[in-house]
Chains A and B, each alone.
Chain A
Amino acid sequence: MSEAQKYVWKGAIPLQIHLHESEVTTLPPPPPALVLAPRIGYLPLLISLLKPHFSATLPPGVDTIWFEYKGLHLKWYIPTGVLFDLLCMEPERPWNLTVHFRGYPSNLLLPCEGEDSVKWSFINSLKEAAYVITGNCKNIMNMSQTDQVDLWGSVLNGNLESYSRVSSKLKLETFEDEYTENVDSASTKSQQSTGDAEAVGQVKTSRIPVRLYLWAVNEDFDDFEDAPVIDNWDKVSYINRPVEIHKEDGKYFSLNDAVKRLLPEYFPESSFGNEGDASINQSAGEEGENSCDPESSSHTVEIAEIKCVRIQGIEPSLEVPFSWVVNNLMNPEYFLHMCVCLKVSEANALQ
C-alpha cells in the first residue's frame, strides 16, 4: 500500500450536524453534533454516533436517517468524501449538514434500511467494478463468507491493512503503474490476463471503473466561493462509464486524457492531445462512431474547458499518469470517483 492510499483511508471530514427543526420536540433544542466522517464511508453509517445525541428530542416514530445540505437531499450511496468534493467546492469546515430521522423522501432517495443497505450497495458496486475489470463477477460471487465480512468490516473501520489482505485475493489489478513496472513486462502480463473474448490481433483494451460527477458552468469564476451552487441533482450529470485504455495509447495516458475520453460530447476525439489517436479509436469500435461523425469533427475548436478535477479532496495536475490516480485514489469498491467541473461557453451551450 502506498502513502497516498494511507492518506485516502485516513481522510475524514469534520461535520457539524443539526437536527431538522421539524423534529425538535424539546426546549432548548439540542446542540449540533460534531463528528468526523471518513471520506470512504457513507452517511447512514453515522447513525450510531448521531442517534444517542438526538434521541431524547425526537418525536415518536420509526427512524430512517437521511441528510440534507442547503436543502439538497444527500444520496447516501455516494461516499461521503465524494459528496463533500462535489457539493462543497469551497471547502466548509466543519461541513454543516442537517439530519432527519423522520419523513424519508422515498420518491427521491433510494430506501436505506440501515447498514445492510449500505453494505449491499457497496458489494453491488464492487461486483460492477470487478465486471468492468475482468469481464465477470466470479471473484466477488465466490468470496468466502469470512472474507466478505472482513472486507466490509475493514471499510467500516477504515482498516487499510486488513482491506489490502482481503482485497488482494480478489485479483482485481486494474493496471500496472507505469512508474513501478517496466513497460515490456506490463504488456505481456496484461495480454495474458485478458480473456480470449477480446479478438486476437485487435487492440488490447483495459477498462477502468470510473464514476464521474460532471458539473458544467457557463460563466467563469476565479474563486470557488463565487461558483454557482449545486442545489439540484439534475445539475450534475452522473457518468458511469469505464475508461477504455488501448495498448496503443502508449506509456503515457494522463488524467487529462482520461477525462476527455469519458466526455466525447465535449471533447471530440479530433481535439485529443495524442497524435494518431483518432485512427486507433476507429479500430476500437465504440469511439470510432464519434470520429466518423461529420458534425463532431467540425468542432475542432475546444468547446469546453476543464475547470477542475477533484478526487479524494485534491486536485491533481491533469498531467499526472492516470494509472497513478487509479491505483492510489480509488475507493475501496474499486471505483475511481471524480468530480469534474467544466466551463462551457454560452454559445456552445445554446446550440
Chain B
Amino acid sequence: MDLKEAVKDKIPWDGTLPLNEFSLSASTFSDKWKMFNHSFPPWLWNPCPKHHLNSSHKVEGYLSLENVCLVKSCEEEKNHGSLSWKEESNISQAEEPFDHATLVCPEFEANHYDFHIVYSPSYRVPVLYFRSYYSDGQPLPLGEIEKDLPGHSAELLLESKWTFITQEEHPYLNRPWYKLHPCGTRDWMKLLLSDTYTSSNKNFIEQYLVSWFSVVGQVVGLKISLEMLNIEEKKLFETTASDIFE
C-alpha cells in the first residue's frame, strides 16, 4: 500500500483523501455514526451511476443524511447559538431522555436540513453540502440559516460571505445547494491528523471521514459523539479544533 510506504519514507502526508478510499472511509463513518448517534437517522450511501451505463465505477457516490429537523426550544431561541438537532421521525421524548431539543415550544417553526458528503476530485477532500427548507418545502433564505448556525459560524459567514459557505450547484443533482468551501480542508486535516499518521495508525485513512466530520459537523451545529474518535484523536481534537476556526 502506498501509504505505508510513504510512512516508511517519512514523506509528510498532504492531508488529502484519495478518491478510491472515499467509499471505504464513508462506510466506516456511517457505521460508527449508527453506533454512537442513535438520535439521528443514519447516513446513507448513494451510488452515482453517472451515465447510467456500466457499473464498473462503484467508487462514485455520496453520503446523505436527510430530513434532519431542527426544533428550536424557547430557551435556546433566546440564547441563540447553541442548538440541538432532532430527527423528525417517530422517536418520542420518552426514548430520548437526554435530548434537550424536545422542549415543547408553542407554535415553533421547524427547519429541515439535508446534508450530503460529496468527494471533490479537484480538492481531493470530502465536501459538505446542505440545503434547508421549511415544513412546506420552501427553501430557507440564507438569513434564516444563519440564525440556525452556531455563533462562530454565523460570524464567519458575515465576514467572508463569498468564501466560507457558498451556494453552488450540487455536483450530482443539478440544483443549488450550500457548500462549505473546501480549500482549507487539506491544511486543517493535516494539522488534525498528521501526528496520528506517523504514530503508525493503520486505520488512519479509514478514519478520515470521522475526523473530518468532527470538525465540519460543528460548523453546521451537528456535533458527533466523541466516542467515534480514537482516544489520541480526541486529545488532538480538543487542542486543534479551536485553532481551525480562528
Contact = CB atoms under 8 A, between A and B. Distances in A.
B162 interface: yes
B50 interface: yes
Contacts of B57: 264-265, 290
B5 A199 contact: yes
Contacts of B55: 295
A120 B166 CA distance: 10
Please report whether the interface of chain B is mostly helix, strand, loop or mixed according to DSSP.
loop
B24 to A, nearest CB: 12
A209 interface: yes
Interface stretch (B69-77, B88-96, B145-153, B168-176): B168-176
B18 A286 contact: yes
A303 B53 contact: yes
Contacts of A348: 53-54
A106 B167 CA distance: 11
A295 B122 contact: no
A266 B20 contact: no
A104 to B, nearest CB: 11
Contact of B54 (A108, A288, A296): A296
A214 B53 CA distance: 13
Given A107-B139, A128-B123, A289-B20, A265 B167 contact: no
Contacts of A209: 122
A110 B169 contact: yes
Contacts of A241: 121-122
Interface string A114-147: 0010001001100110011001110000000000
Contacts of B59: 289
B53 A110 contact: no
B122 A285 contact: no
B235 interface: no
B56 interface: yes
Contact of B52 (A75, A286, A295, A349): A349
A184 interface: no
B51 A214 contact: yes
A303 B54 contact: yes
Interface residues of A, number: 55
Contacts of B6: 199
B2 interface: yes
B140 to A, nearest CB: 12
A242 B121 contact: yes
A123 B175 CA distance: 21
Nearest to A344: B53
B176 A285 contact: no
B14 interface: yes
Contacts of B56: 264-265, 268, 290, 293, 295-296, 299
B14 A197 contact: yes
B163 interface: yes
A107 B11 CA distance: 46
Contacts of B169: 75, 77, 110, 238
Nearest to B169: A110
Interface in B165-219: 166-169, 171, 174-176, 181, 183, 186-187
Interface string B40-55: 0000000000111111
B167 A110 contact: yes
Interface string B1-40: 0100110010110100011100000000000000000000
Interface in A322-341: none
Given A120-B163, A196-B12, A349-B53, 14 more contacts: A111-B176, A124-B162, A131-B122, A197-B11, A199-B9, A216-B51, A237-B50, A239-B50, A265-B56, A290-B56, A293-B56, A299-B54, A344-B53, A351-B53
Interface of A: 75, 77, 106-111, 116, 120, 123-124, 127-128, 131-132, 135-137, 195-197, 199-200, 202, 209, 214, 216, 233-234, 237-242, 264-266, 268, 285-286, 288-290, 293, 295-296, 299, 303-304, 344, 348-349, 351
14 contacts: A108-B175, A108-B176, A109-B176, A195-B14, A214-B51, A233-B174, A234-B174, A237-B50, A242-B121, A242-B122, A265-B57, A299-B56, A303-B54, A351-B53
